[in-house]
Structure 1
Amino acid sequence: MSDLTSALLAGAIVLVVVLHLAWQARASRSRASMALAVEQDRIRTIIADAANVSDGTAGVITWEGSWNSKRVQVRTIVDTLATRKLPARWLSVSITEEVAVPATFDMMMRPGSPTTFSNFDHLEHTLPKAPGFPAESVLRTDRRAARFPQGLIASHIEIFSEGRAKELLITPKGIRIVWLLAEAERARYGVFRQAEFGDAALDPALIERLLMSVSALRDAINKSERQAA
């Protein structure tokens, strides 16, 4: 085989590889776009005016809208931190309305490693737990002297007994629950280092259930504060 023929053959192989990679990239973007449209449709069955307000952060998609006359936010986060055994996909559901608490209250379940969705690790003060909180939970705040209605909060966290709720964050500006949607498929991640989550689709019933949970807790805290005043 002549040098020219060899060069042409090598060039053809490189071109085929480049075209194949480009096709794969386009197919991947198309699948991602379709999946995003499906998830938005599902969210809008609960939050009719949900709008995608994502800021371009990799792995994070954010929708905002109104539910039961309250401003709400739904966010999905793909967490690929190396400290995790497997990448995870989280669902964050928030009511972004005023809450009558004096500071940040953050309850994290099994806080063994950093997360991409929370500032829990940066909160300086650990709170003693009142009865009713899960044994695996740790409570923190950003103000040492802050006092929270822990008994009331503990009576509204039954959902954490199921093992998939990860965080309850209460601030003067709102309340959120973070829920584990899925972990990456172990075999594919182990071989290809690709975070695939199978059929871990957003469930409108789960979104509504989490919204009802944070809404009930917010209403209870605000009612208790008004009565105390």
Structure 2
Amino acid sequence: MEYLAVAAFGILGVFVLAGIYRRDRAKLRALRGAVFAPAYPLFESYRVTQDSVDFPELRGRYRGHDFHVDALVDMVTFRKLPSLWLRVSLLAPVPYRGTLDIMVRSQNVEFYSPANELDHAIQPPAGWPAGTIVKTDNPDAMPPAALVDPHMSFFAAPKAKEILITPKGVRLVYQTDQGTRAEYLVLRSANFAAPQVTAEVMADLLDRAIALYQDLAGRSAS
């Protein structure tokens, strides 16, 4: 009888732990799923999709332009707190066949960037931030630096990370949050205290992407 009681208690404990696990997963999914919620009113229309407890993706229309927005957890950089990177991509043809990637404060572990796939490193023009890395797949067909110059003010924000221009659109990458120190040091988990993207931050990135795109689309590649 004592054995049966111990076994029953063990089975009960398993069910309790399973219930706690499901509850915590549901809370995490809901928390991450609402990461873009404050910015929903900005969009003329939008659709949000989420896979399990991952951060969701948003596809929406803003000021007549199609956007794809997602958030990625970065735990790659050794001895640094996890980062939550916001990628805001305007989806529209750009009249240049080459891809241009501009990145600041690089750690050489930016898995979310195509920079490592671009073969040609370009010397940054004078006046661009110190340490800027500029890469392209085609130096003869990339957008001219003169068109990008007015938009380098994006990098004045310490959280600004990358400008990407491709024939299919433009993308801005921005650090929207950093992991909580205690949980990362003890549990090595990427939990974020305030992961929601404010409407102000989202609007600024959307507007910057549109301004960049309009300058690029205003001229044809030579």
TM-score by length of 1: 0.86
2:129 aligned with 1:134, yes or no? yes
Consecutive unaligned residues of structure 1, counting only runs of 5 or more, are: none
> 2:199 matched to which residue of 1?
204
Query: Alpha carbons of 1:200 and 1:186: their partners in 2 closer, same or farther (altered >3 Å)?
Result: same
Tell me if structure 1 keeps the 8 A contact 2:40–2:46.
Answer: yes
2:24 to 28, 34, 37: 28
Q: What is the Cα deviation at residue 80 of structure 1?
A: 2.3
Amino acid at match of 2:109: P
Deviation at 1:9, TM superposition (A): 4.9
1:48 aligns with 2:44: yes
Contact 1:124 1:140 in 2 (8 A): yes
- 1:177 aligns to what? 172
8 Å Cα contact 1:188-1:195 kept in structure 2 = yes
The structural deviation recorded for 1:144 is 4.0
CA distance in 1, matches of 2:117, 2:78: 17
Change (3 A) 1:80 1:173: same
2:35 aligned partner: 39
- Give the conservation status (yes or no) of the 8 Å contact 2:85–2:173: yes
Cα distance in structure 1, aligned partners of 2:168 and 2:79: 30
The Cα shift of 1:40 comes to 4.6
Deviations 1:53-105 (A, max 9, x none): 45x49744211111111111111111222646222111111110111222110
Identify which of 11, 14, 21 aligns with 2:7. Answer: 11
Q: Is 1:92 paired with 2:98?
A: no
Structure 2 gaps, min length 5: none
**Structure 1 residues 85 and 13 mapped into 2: Cα distance closer, same or farther (>3 Å)?**
farther
- Is the alpha carbon distance of 1:104 and 1:58 closer, same or farther for their aligned partners in structure 2, counting shifts above 3 Å? farther
Query: Aligned AA for 1:46?
Result: L
The equivalent position to 2:163 in structure 1, one of 163, 168, 172, is 168
- RMSD (CA atoms): 2.3
Q: Do the aligned residues in 2 keep the contact of 1:79 with 1:88 (CA within 8 Å)?
A: yes
Of 95, 101, 108, the match for 1:106:
101
**What is residue 119 of structure 1 aligned with on the other side?**
114
Q: Count how many residue pairs are aligned between Structure 1 and Structure 2.
A: 222
Dislocated runs of 4+, deviation >3 Å: 7-10, 36-41, 56-60, 144-147
Separation in structure 1 between the aligned mates of residue 27 and residue 21 of structure 2, nearest angstrom: 10
Taking a change above 3 Å as real, the CA distance of residues 190 and 153 of structure 1, as seen in their structure-2 partners, is: same
Q: Which one of the candidate residues 215, 221, 227 is aligned to 2:210? A: 215
